[in-house]
Structure formats: C-alpha cells, structure tokens
Structure 1
Amino acid sequence: MSVVPAATRRRALGLCWSSTTTAYLSGWRAPTTKGTARGRGGQVLGYACSQIHRDQEAFRETVEVSIGLVKGSRGQGLGTSLYRALFGLLADEPIHAVLAGIALPNDASVALHRRFGFSDVGIFREYAVKNGQYISSLWMQRLQSDPLRVR
C-alpha cells in the first residue's frame, strides 16, 4: 500500500469508488478541507477528509471528519493509517473540536473513532434516508487539544 501523490490525491478524493462518494466529497469546502487517500494498483481503497462543520463564525474552529473504505480493504489497518495522516494534516490548523457522525450500525467505525480518542455525544434517530431506509447516526467528538493517542 502506498501514499497517493498530492496531485493524484486531489483527483482521487473526487473519484473514489462511486458517484455517491464523488458527489459527497465535492461538496466539502475550503479553507479547512483536508484529505488523504490510499491506493494500490491505481485503485483508491479509501479516503479520510475534513471540512468546516458549519459556515457560521461560531464554528470556525470546529471540523467534521469523514472516512470511507472499499469493502475489501476493511480490517487491514487502512482506516487507522488514513486517520493518522488526516490528523497529521490537521495538527497545525486552528481547530478546537473535531466531530464525526457515524451511520448505525457500524461497530468497526465506532471502534476506530474511539481508538482516536473520540467520545460519544449522542444519537440522531432516523434523521436521514439511506437506500430507502431511515438511518440513525452516532455523533462523536474529540478536542484537538487532547493528545492524539491511538489505542
């Protein structure tokens, strides 16, 4: 597995593995948008990215992170590698709080976020529709000032 070069990474973040992911990532915006992708043999296997949580001034130091892996790449440490790289990119940014929303059920993603120091904030119940079904989402948070200790 290799780190995708910067120019390829910019393209990869918009080309991941589905039109849904492409549309999702294309809406993420600067100035604190950061992203990283990993690939093998020209195929993007996963991404991790961040964006400003909301456009209002009050949220200028709050970002939301997202991570996605192709099914065949799960359980191999790729998510940990991507989040390490993303949090390295965010380390020098003026960020206080990092948020993550995880569609439930997703035990692997919840465990990954807990390993990176995220704690549970609450659950939005049936707040979105995915594949024709209402889904709930666990929201988690970590403060950037907390030391990044991957458990």
Structure 2
Amino acid sequence: MAQFTGRIRPAGTGDLPAITDIYNQAVRDRIATCDLSDVPVERRADWLHAHRAPYGVWVAEDEAVRGWVAISPYDPKPCFHRTATFATYVAREARGTGVGSALRTRMIREATERGFHALVNRVWSNNPASIALARKFGFREVGRMPEIVELDGGYVDCLFFELILDR
C-alpha cells in the first residue's frame, strides 16, 4: 500500500486554484460530487472562509497540492453542533498513492480534537475507492437511498457512513 510522504497543512486562499481544479476533476469524473459542471475558483473564497473553526480545510502537498479534505457543518440546527460532515478529494494523478488515507487520518484527528462526536458522509455506490476508504477508517454504513442521484440519464444509489469519535 502506498504511503504519502508529503505534508498535510491548513488550506489558505493561495490554495484555492488547486482545490478548485481537484474538485472540478471529480465533477468531470462523475463519481463523487453532486455538482454537474465545473465550479469557478471565485466561488471557493466564501466557501473557504465559511470553514473557520471548529470546521476546517486541509491540503496534502509535496511539490504541489495533491488533495484536500474539509470538515463542514452537518446541519445548522443546534442539536447537530457535535456532528460534522466532510469531503475528501484527491487529484487524479495522486489517487492510489496514500493521499486520501493521509487526509482522512488528519481529518479524524482534527475532528476529535475539536470536540466532534460523530462524522457522517455520503458516498455514491459507483465509487468503490471512497467506499473502501470509509471502511478502512472504521466508518459504518448506516443507510442506503436507492437511485436518488440522477446522473447523465441514469440513477445511482447514495450510501451513508458514520464514525463515532468519542467512544
């Protein structure tokens, strides 16, 4: 198994072009995001600003940014203040090199240190790499909604995963 040897650090505004490019690769790959067309980098500045503590965005880099992870609010209602959702995206050329695992490790550590109780996320059923990564880190599949993602004239199931952090 590949081991990423770069560093993981908090994202800054200078990372927005790389973050956006990696995200737009996923848009075009049709396996990970509900956006169906590229997102402009200008839309990402407010997004990054909205991820201030206890949330956050981190990038994996060696000679370039290879991927990123964001901890985001699950729901704005007060009863969900200790539950977060997240997104992990890895550049095409860096997939399978340990970047996703390194980002997931950092994200779980940060979420735990920031006092979150649970992490939840949704994964499309046509994304075996994301499903495997969720299971590798102990996420438990807690639900499946058949055919709720409409994509290019067809439908894909959406899987829901959860990790309880403070047990």
In the superposition, the TM-score normalised over structure 2's length comes to: 0.72
Q: Relative to 1, partners in 2 of residues 1:53 and 1:85: Cα closer, same or farther, differing over 3 Å?
A: same
**SS in structure 1 of the partner of residue 114 of structure 2:** coil
For structure 1, the residue ranges without an aligned partner over 5 or more in a row are 147-151
CA distance in 2, matches of 1:100, 1:71: 21
**Could you tell me which residue of structure 2 aligns to residue 11 of structure 1?**
13
Report percent identity of matched pairs: 18
Is 2:93 aligned against 1:72? yes
The CA deviation at 1:109 is 0.8
Q: What corresponds to 1:115 in structure 2? A: 136
Please state if 1:135 is matched with 2:139.
no
Greater RCO structure (CA 8 Å; 6+ sep): 2
Unaligned runs of 5+ in 2: 25-37
How far has the Cα of 1:90 moved from its partner? 1.6
Corresponding residue for residue 149 of structure 1:
none
**Which of 37, 42, 61 does residue 59 from structure 2 map onto?**
37
| Counterpart code for 2:39 | T
Native 8 Å contact 2:84 2:120 kept in 1: yes
- CA shift, 1:104, in A, is 2.2
Aligned residues of 2:8 and 2:103 also touching (Cα < 8 A): no
- Farther off after superposition, 124-133 or 89-98: 124-133
Q: Give the conservation status (yes or no) of the 8 Å contact 1:13–1:47.
A: no
CA distance in 2, matches of 1:94, 1:5: 19
- Matched length: 143
| Equivalent-residue separation in structure 2 for 1:94 and 1:21 (angstroms) | 33
Q: Distance in 1 between matches of 2:124 and 2:40?
A: 15
The two structures have a TM-score, normalised by structure 1, of 0.79
- Higher deviation after alignment, 21-30 or 91-100: 21-30
Match of 2:166 in 1: 145
Name 2:116's counterpart in structure 1: 95
Note closer, same or farther for the CA distance 1:56–1:88 as it changes in structure 2 (3 Å cut).
Answer: same
**Residues 32 and 52 of structure 1 are in contact (CA less than 8 Å); yes or no, is this contact kept in structure 2?**
no
CA distance in 1, matches of 2:12, 2:116: 22
